[in-house]
Amino acid sequence: MNYRCDMQLDSPSGVYRAGETVNGHIYLTLTERALIKAISLEANGFAATGWLKPQKAGKPKKSQQQNLQVEKQPLAFENRVDYFAKIDYFVGSEASQPQIIEAGTYSYGFHVKLPKNCPSSHEGAHGHIRYTLQLLIHSSADRPIDVIHTRQLQVYSESELCKESRIGEVQCLEQTPRMKFWQKPLQLNLQIPRQGYSPGAGISVHVKLHNPQQLLLTEVVYRLNMVSTYVGLQTNKPKRRDIKVERQTLLSSGHELVSQPRSELEHFQHLHMLQVPQTPATLASAACACLQINYEVEVLVRTQQEKRSIMAQIPITIGNVTPPCPNSIRSMDPMNASAPEQTPTPGAATKLAPDFSVSMTSLASNFREAEFMTATNLNKNNKHALSGEQLDFKPRYLYYELDQNQTQEEIVSH
């Protein structure tokens, strides 16, 4: 049996905020009449982690050869947190009897309310946070349920950054060998004007280095790191858990210091601006028990002596300061639609995307894909019914375009 499905949302880009309602319409085309038990839409929002942990080879028993080692199966760790799960039946139900449905095109409207506590969508190496809509057709009790169409939503949470307005500062002292008492340690001080930022904002990093021996410096490296923490429970022993920490560099910038005057080496200072890319908001353990996302600014200062360097990190919070969406993109009422419409092309969908710059007088904003994330193939097993292609998905996050003149003024002020 061949099915064709077109799912249209009130937001063509598929981007929603936590707490909003997803309104849409499904147009299902049957090429021939069929015996169908139920047609339903399944909506899910969840965070999941999983990986395999190899075990060390065990010692052989006395009866076995001494040269052989017993291979052990790797331990499986998994974890999952559900934020919502909903099934809407358009035809029939789980307990109904199959019925004959004639060939033709059928339209079904739906509404899905997103909880306010939903974290932002995320794709990581050992886990993810996903929000999906699946159209399911159950032909009969003795046949498996067919997944006709899958659509992944991009959800982002709103974070309050007003509490993160305090100045961030950290000091670090170089660890020198105890036997080399004549070596005077380097002391690094990092300072940022505040600890909360939104995508597109600039982080002004002020570096102060106390170099008592006036060691010749080679370079200073600035990095913005995303630290993802995955928590998994052993499948057969849920009381045992394992933690994986992944540190990923989002931005990196280096500056050579070979020509630095020797008179400035003892009390060296440097100022640099890091612009926050499109990325999910900070996610604490209180919001998600299996996946946490944190950010840090890292500074590394190298000297001409290979073993003499110093590095420090300062944590920051990244959130989304998002104005309300214009009413124009919510004007389409899917429940009143009567006929299928063509799926918007990628170019048209971009034009219909919300223009947040109207309510942000000083900032222009748009949605950008997270370039550093791995693309997710949503139609790995089933090709898209309309295009016949296997589509890849990358999360998109709100990104603010800073005025360059304003950025330069902020650097000068600090």
40 against 165, higher pLDDT: 40
- Give pLDDT tens digits for 201-255: 999 999 999 999 889 999 999 999 999 999 999 998 989 999 999 999 999 999 9
Residue 398 has pLDDT above 60, yes or no: no
Spell out the CATH class of 3-157+323-404: mainly beta
Per-residue pLDDT at 276? 92
Per-residue pLDDT at 371? 60
Using pLDDT thresholds of 50, 70 and 90, give the confidence band for residue 175: confident
- Give pLDDT tens digits for 127-146: 999 999 999 999 887 888 99
Inter-residue contact 277 to 248 (CB < 8 Å)? no
Per-residue pLDDT at 168? 86
Answer yes or no: same fold for 3-157+323-404 and 164-321.
yes
Residue 279 has pLDDT above 90, yes or no: no
Per-residue pLDDT at 242? 95
The domain limits of the chain are 3-157+323-404, 164-321
Using pLDDT thresholds of 50, 70 and 90, give the confidence band for residue 403: low
* Mean local confidence (pLDDT), 27-38: 92
Per-residue pLDDT at 164? 62
Inter-residue contact 129 to 288 (CB < 8 Å)? yes
Pairing of strands 202-210, 122-123: unpaired
CA distance 144 to 297: 50
CA distance 402 to 366: 12
Share of the chain above pLDDT 90, in %: 49
Provide φ and ψ at 412, rounded to 5°. Answer: -65, -40
**164-321 CATH fold:** Immunoglobulin-like (2.60.40)
Mean pLDDT of the chain: 79
Could you tell me the maximum CA-CA distance found in the chain, to the nearest angstrom?
A: 90
Per-residue pLDDT at 380? 53
- Give pLDDT tens digits for 70-119: 678 899 999 999 999 999 999 998 888 999 999 999 999 999 999 998 89
* pTM check: above 0.85: no
